[in-house]
Amino acid sequence: MNKENDADPTTSNFIREIVKDGIATNKQEGHICTRFPPEPNGFLHIGHAKSICLNFGLANEFGGTCNLRFDDTNPSKEEEVYVQSIIEDIKWLGFSWAGEIRYTSEYFDQLYDWAVCLIKKELAYVDDLNADEIREHRGTPTQSGRNSPFRNRSVEENINLFASMKNGEFSDGAKVLRAKIDMTSGNLNMRDPVLYRILRAHHHRTGDQWCIYPMYDFAHGQSDSIEKITHSICTLEFEDHRPLYDWIIKNLGIYHPQQIEFARLNLGYTLLSKRKLLQLVKEDHVSGWDDPRMPTISGMRRRGYTPESIRDFCERIGVAKANSTVEMALLEHCVREDLNKKAKRVMVVLRPLKLTITNYPEGQIEELTAENNPEDPKSGTRKVPFSRELYIEQEDFMEDPPKKFFRLAPGKEVRLKHAYIIKCEEMIKDRNGNITELKCTYDPDSKTGGSTAGRKIKGTLHWVSAQHAKKAEVRIYNHLFINENPANGQGDLTLSSGLNKESLEILQDCKIEPSLLDSKPGSRFQFLRMGYFCADLKDFTPDSPVFNRAVTLRDTWAKIAKQKK
């Protein structure tokens, strides 16, 4: 497994070496062309980000081009909203495609003609077997398949039947077009695979023009050929499909791209299946595809991840031939590392406890200077109001603290960030014994530049002026699943059984410093000592500010998960 502290930005990429070799031997005549071909049947997730970074990244690195082509061959599951979300995600990640956006549906006429070509070469036939019968005839990995009784129809009959399929003369599932290859092949994909099926569904681009649609295995290679793709990069499950990819292109006598397979991304505590992610959405386990707990690119964007951190993650994990699982800690490390350099530091109290400085002048307001980001000197400073009454975190005070508790306690001193040293003199409790307020005194000379500013104090707390604090909602996100491998090898999954009931905590009475009201949706911050947060892209307004936790300051999940086992 990849470990956070083993992250290596120079991780190997065997496909890069293949491309280099092709350029060195002039196989591509000096120009490479890749493509990213998503099916618009859901939102893209972090696994797709790996493919996006690989395809667009190789094209950029070697001065080539990368096409964006939508594989829109299954209209029953595809929607325009998915098309638009994919376009937005790719742009947000920082990539641009060559020329116009392409769609497999633009090639339907040519694909149909090529199917007819195979029929004329006696390499394809119309079959009347239904899906279950085809599956039963196909055999098993250890048992040969059986020929369909319709396999030896004449070329003329097949052409007429295929035309009738196109013209809507048969019901859905009544007939299919199959390649005529070898029912005894050791590769099940070569046992007369289906090339076309009848499917009456409204297409988001072609409407009701077609009632037959090509299977992905038929449309994939030919679309690559039309676009003169040099490197058709696929995930590892398509390795066994490559002989079919090559067979169709060879027998059509058309331009032949090189298909290369790589291991798809598996991420701990995460599901990377659009089908299962759609199930999460439909069963209302999440608020939508862009829920910040989702591994979708739109969910990560809303949560506060940066495109730079995702690109860095994809580069670090490398490209390999063997499947493995990457720890979530590595992705979160990349997010922290990027946000640490660019996120403005601000003070926010998530669970407020009132604190009154009894010897501070009533009515006095100070404007204290606070640095915006010590990692970026150019980020400058800002003014933060300070007054007699403040809020601090409830967890920063203990009535009976352990020995190494360096925060506030009765009779103890701490420094307030950017401000003074204070000492707790008294606690105020309600009738149930809950602490509702702290009475403290401050050292007026302990501010920066004061005569006692250099006194050594072990604890430093963040705070917000009660008079100036604004109320905000803060959403604390954790992993959506409690198990590192939620699917656990299952084809189907009862999602609710593995959900983390503590994946979302909503705090509605947080106190934020007033500068945060000027935030724009999507702005990212480090809440001092609390983590990295983002102004919610959908719900944030100056009148009702909402912030999402992008990531903790440190990797705390692994420790918590270990304790629960």
> How much is the pLDDT for 5?
36
Tell whether 65 and 131 lie within a shared domain: no
Q: Of 286, 317, 342, which closes a domain?
A: 342
Summarised one tens digit per residue, pLDDT across range 514-565 is 999 999 999 999 999 999 999 999 999 999 999 999 999 987 645 544 554 4
In sequence order, which residues have a C-beta less than 8 Å from that of residue 513 and are 6 or more positions away? 346, 347, 348, 384, 385, 464, 465, 468, 469, 470
In sequence order, which residues have a C-beta less than 8 Å from that of residue 347 and are 6 or more positions away? 370, 384, 417, 462, 463, 464, 513, 527, 528
> How much is the pLDDT for 166?
98
Tell whether 89 and 226 lie within a shared domain: yes
For a pLDDT cut of 70, what percent of the chain falls above it?
94
Tell whether 210 and 221 lie within a shared domain: no
Q: Of 172, 187, 214, which closes a domain?
A: 214
Mean pLDDT, the chain, whole residue set: 93
Residue 524 among the catalytic residues: no
Catalytic residue among 39, 239, 308, 366: 39
Domain CATH code at residue 492: 2.40.240.10
> How much is the pLDDT for 562?
53
Tell whether 325 and 435 lie within a shared domain: no
Q: Of 342, 370, 402, which closes a domain?
A: 342
Tell whether 353 and 489 lie within a shared domain: no
Tell whether 197 and 130 lie within a shared domain: yes
Those residues of the chain that have pLDDT short of 50 are 1-10, 491-492, 557, 560-561, 564-565
Catalytic residue among 153, 274, 316, 412: 274
Tell whether 291 and 375 lie within a shared domain: no
Percentages (nearest 5) of helix, strand, coil residues in the chain:
30, 25, 45
Tell whether 282 and 335 lie within a shared domain: no
CA dihedral 521, 525, 529, 531 (to 10 degrees): 60
Domain CATH code at residue 6: 3.40.50.620
In sequence order, which residues have a C-beta less than 8 Å from that of residue 326 and are 6 or more positions away? 1, 2, 265, 266, 267, 268, 317
Tell whether 222 and 334 lie within a shared domain: yes
Question: By three-state DSSP, how is residue 95 classified?
Answer: coil
Residue 274 among the catalytic residues: yes
Residue 264 among the catalytic residues: yes
Tell whether 497 and 390 lie within a shared domain: no
> How much is the pLDDT for 226?
98
Q: Which of 363, 366, 390, 513 is closest to 444 using CA atoms?
A: 366
Can you give the residue range of the structural domain that contains 548?
Answer: 274-303+472-564
Number of domains in the chain: 4
The conformation of residue 518, written as its DSSP 8-state character, comes to G
Q: Scan for tokens 């998503």, then name that residue.
A: 38
Summarised one tens digit per residue, pLDDT across range 374-420 is 999 899 999 999 999 999 999 999 999 999 899 999 999 999 999 99
Output the CA–CA distances (angstroms, integers) from residue 348 to 353, 374, 382, 542, 562, in the order listed: 12, 18, 15, 15, 29
Tell whether 236 and 319 lie within a shared domain: yes
Catalytic residue among 27, 77, 146, 264: 264
Tell whether 391 and 486 lie within a shared domain: no
Instruction: Determine the Cα–Cα distance for residues 556 and 258; give it in Å rounded to an integer.
Output: 44
